[in-house]
Structure formats: C-alpha cells, structure tokens
Amino acid sequence: MGLPSLKAGKNMTTSSSSPSPGSNLSCHHGTAAENAQRIRREWDHLDSYDRALYLDAVETAIERGLHTRFAAYHCDTTAEIQAHDTCAFYPWHRLFILAYENMLRSLEPRFACLTLPFWDLHRDYAKQQSSSHACRSYGTCSRMINDLGGLVANDELEERTFFGQSSGSEGGWWHFGPPVQNLRDDHNHAGIVRYDVWYDPIPSEAGILRVENVARLFAKKNRIDFWEALHHGVHDAVHDTLGGFMRTPASVVDPLFMPWHSTMDLFDYIWEACHSSATGNDTTAMLFHYDANRDKEKCTYSTKAEKFFPNFSLSQDEAYMILDNTTDVRKDPYIGQFFSQPLELAGQWKIANLDVHHRFRYTNIPENFHEALENNPQACPNGLGAILNDAEGKGASDEHPLTYRQPPDFSDEELRACKEDWMDQAQVYYAAIDAAVTLETKTPSPQVAHSPLVASNPNPSTSKKMEFVRCILFEAMDRDTIERWAIDSNAFLTQVVQNQRYDTHPMCRWLLSAAPVGIPDTTTHHKPLPKDPSSPPFHLSENIFHTPDGDITHSHAPSAHRGGTGESASLFCVGSMIVVLIYLLS
C-alpha cells in the first residue's frame, strides 16, 4: 500500500517558551501543569503493557523515518566530534535524547506519557559474576537485550550500512525482533547487527557500578571528572562490546542506544541530587574553568576536536547539530520541532534547571546506589532523601503520587481466543482483497497491491498468506507482543495484515515466497525506504483502511487496557472485524 508522506514541521529556532510536541505539558499526571515532569523508569520494572507501548512507539518512529533522521545528526562527522571528543558529551546527549523522547511522545495520544527507560546494568552484571553462575552474557543476563531487537535464531553473519557506516561482518549477527524488523539500511536491508550477545559477557568495566566503586565514583567533587569517568569507562565499554552499530557513530539506529543514554543520565541525576548546592561544584564558575582558552586539555580529547573546535567553550558554545554543515537541526523539516529548547550547552549543565517542558527525574533507583550512598556524606552530602522515590513513584518534591496502568491480566485461554479471532479477521480481509481483484479484472488497484517485501511472489495465494499469519501468531511472536495486540483491538489487523509490518520475519517469511510450502526461500526481500536522510520519511498517523472503491476509513487505536474475562477478551479481540465488514459491504 502507498504510504502518505510526512508533512514537514515548522522550522524552529524557538526558545523554551514554545513547547515542543511531546513536552511535559502534554502529560502532567493529574498534577498542576507547572509541576509536570517526565518520570523515567527501569526497563524490568515496566509492566508488559508499558514495555509493549515503548516498542510500538519506536516501531512507529522507524516506519515514519524519524528514528533514522535522528541517527543522521549523531552520525554527522563534525557533530560526532563535539559530542564524543570534548567535555560536551553529557550536555550534548542530554539535549539529543530529550528531543527523541519528545518525538516518541508526540506520535500518538497513547504515547503522550511515555519516557525513555533505563537499564540496570549492575544488576545484570552482578548476576553474571555471581557464584551461582545464573547467566553468562548480555543475552542471558539482560531482559532489555532480548526485548529490544531480540536474540534471533539465525546462522548468518551479516553486515549492514547506515550513513556509510558499516556494522562490520566479523562476528556480527542479524537481529530482526521488534522494534527493528522494518529498520532499513543504506542498501534497504532489514534489521540491525550486534556481536554475539548470547555468548559475549557484560564487560568488566561494569564493575564500576559495584557498591564500593560507586562510593568512590560519587565522591568526585568535580562534575566533569565524574562525567569523564563514566564516558570513557562503562559507557564506551558497553558500546564496544555490544558491537555492530553500537560501536560506530551510527549507534543511534540500534534501539539500545536511547535506554543506554538514559542510563547515563540516571548516573548524573543521582550525582546532582547528592551534590547540588552542597559543595558549589556545579556552578557556572566551573563551566568557565573548562573553556578551551583556559584549560583545553581537560575539554578537548583529540586532535580532531582541537581542529574543529579550537576555541571550544562549555559555558558559551551551542551543541553542534548541523547535518553536513548545512541543516541546523532546529530547522530540520521533520525533527526540528522536537528541539524547542535552546541548544546552549550551559543550559543542560544542571538537570534541576531544565525548563518545565523538559525536566525529568528517575524512579526505581537501583539497589547498589542505595547501599553505596546511604549514610555516606563523602559520596552523597545531601543524603538519599534527595533522590529516592517511594513505591508509587512519588518524589520528594511532588504533591501527588503518579498513577500507572495496571498490567494486563490475560490468561492463556484469552490469548488463544484472540489468535483465533485474528485468524478469522485475516481470512475475511484476504477474501475482500481477492474480491476486489476479481472486480477489477484481476488487476489489483494501487491501494491493495502486495508489498515488494515478497517480490519473488508478488501475489501469494490466500492459503499461503494464512499460513504466514498462523506462523506469526503461533510460532514467531512472544507473549508480550501478543498481549500488545490484544490490548489494542486494531493493532493486529493494521500491523500484520494491512501494513505487512512482519512480512520479512525470518521464521515465517518463506511462507510468502514462490517456493513450495515447506521449503524456505532464502532470498532476501526488501521494502523501499528513503535512502537519503533528506528524503521525506514515511508517515502513518492513522490506521488507514482502503476499501475496494478507493475510499478510506480511519481507525484510531484506543489506549486503554481492556483485559478481563474470556468473554470480554473475545469481544475486544473482534473489534476490528467491524472494520472488515465495512470493507465487504462497501
């Protein structure tokens, strides 16, 4: 099906007085708007609904081309130097991930309160190092690794290229799980590449998060020294050992990038809460101490940085986010609207001073920080009360606790009933497509033409498509994904059947090929996406259903959880059948 183009947003060079789409004011949890702030939580503490919601938001950003548009700016040669070879590392990335977070929150009303999760790396590293040998690697110790891209069973060493940056093929394994199944590289190849996370261990640099090391790390009185200990230590080690794109300037394409940098902000959030106003070490005076003309060795770390930013000033310079030295991110027609905050690096120095549209805090503070910082005035002069949140997510400065959705409570029987209903919906939909083809002298209209994902067999039979649907439902998808589709009654028909989001899933794609049933087709099929970062990204603002006459009906996905009894499950799972019947009767 043809997809409508993304409409360019306004060129924005605005200050914080003009809030970005997705700002805190779009979600203030029932508190006064002036008290709004985003609450970031640890991935394993999210219920299955919120994990699925996050995956769906990232998938949507990928399909609209916005995800890779952000990656283009991080991959820009000059921007990459300022962001990684100077002491601007922390404020530069803080600006960047806040804008990405705004973008996700703006995509649909149901994403309005979504935040970037963080990763409790120490917990997973401790499991790996335990005497019980509970796990041995990234993939066996960390749920986040499994959930964001998956541990796809394949025996292919793969290579991908984004913005001319190669993932490298040595030891690289193809990952195709949600949310990256429709992420396309420069050559239109799907998925991402990482090292063998099933066997590769979490690196020893994660040991900096042991209790005794946290105490020493947080005792640093100089904030930039603290930043650099993390930047050139555990931050770089995780990027390098995950491999693939995570070790390149194109690392943003990997969905692990944003949670990992949210984790880096967690560390600085805790340091600031512990030290702010206690020692005067986060004052503007310290910013001037790191001007290049005073102490450039401390703020530029490479000859490239000295060449491109010879007079770099943390107190006066802006974050350099200019694509190919031509497009300022604030004027980018697709993502500029999400960079409404000023780009001055000094404005990102102190989290507590962020404006009402962008301020954030964390809950689910990892236990190792509790142990290291409690009753430790050297490491945390302000005390733990400055950072800890109660079980409801209420912070010390909040007047009202946050309320979160209850997790879904689907039984196995309810999910099976949903799967059977979805099979029926798919059968009705494909029958309607066949009828439309017959009415149009067996020539499909542009609206119902099959995806180029199955180019070797552009018109697979209904029986093959139904076998593919059964494979997706009963073999390929994990429980969290099935629950996500059950929560949103239109999601399965829209994502799997209409938009063919999963047509290249490695477990099932061969069922759509021209090869006889039972014989996998190893041909790789690709769905065209914009290759040039300046090309308009695809846009799916609504669930669009084309009728045989070319009419379009719109179905907006509900955001509320509608679980419950088997009877209610059957009712909400068949909600999309109404749309199919409208199709047949039109």
Rounded to whole angstroms, what are the CA distances from 35 to 96, 101, 231, 237, 265?
23, 19, 31, 37, 21
365-415 pLDDT, tens digit per residue, is 998 898 999 889 999 998 877 676 433 334 433 333 333 344 567 888 999
Q: Return mean pLDDT, the chain.
A: 75
448-472 pLDDT, tens digit per residue, is 333 333 334 456 788 888 999 999 8
d(CA 543, CA 531): 25
Does pLDDT of 167 surpass 80? no
Low-confidence winner among 182-186, 483-487, 526-530, 577-581 (lowest mean pLDDT) = 526-530
Does pLDDT of 166 surpass 60? yes
Contact predicate 274/223, CB 8 Å: no
319-344 pLDDT, tens digit per residue, is 999 999 999 999 999 999 999 888 99
First to last CA, the chain: 19
pTM, whole model, 2 decimals?
0.71
d(CA 353, CA 119): 25
Domain boundaries, the chain: 24-116+252-386, 412-585
Contact predicate 533/72, CB 8 Å: yes
Contact predicate 503/509, CB 8 Å: yes
| Alpha-carbon 276 to chain mean position | 30
Encoded tokens for 438: 């017959």
415-455 pLDDT, tens digit per residue, is 999 999 999 999 998 888 887 766 665 544 444 333 333 33
Of 465, 504, 482, 481, the residue nearest 419 (C-alpha): 482
Tracing tokens 């695809």 back to the chain, one arrives at: 538
Name the 3-class secondary structure at 555: strand
Rounded to whole angstroms, what are the CA distances from 186 to 164, 192, 308, 526?
7, 12, 27, 11
Of 69, 52, 59, the residue nearest 6 (C-alpha): 69
Name the 3-class secondary structure at 327: strand
d(CA 95, CA 344): 9
DSSP symbols for 486-530 = HHSTTHHIIIIIIS-TTTT-TTTGGGGSSSPTTS-----------
d(CA 242, CA 196): 8
Does pLDDT of 297 surpass 70? no
| Alpha-carbon 298 to chain mean position | 32
Structure-derived torsion over alpha carbons of residues 371, 126, 250, 10, reported in degrees to the nearest 10: -40
Strands 38-40 and 360-362: parallel
User: 479-487 and 566-573 helices cross at what angle (nearest 10)?
Assistant: 70
Cα 571-483-521 angle, rounded to 5 deg: 110
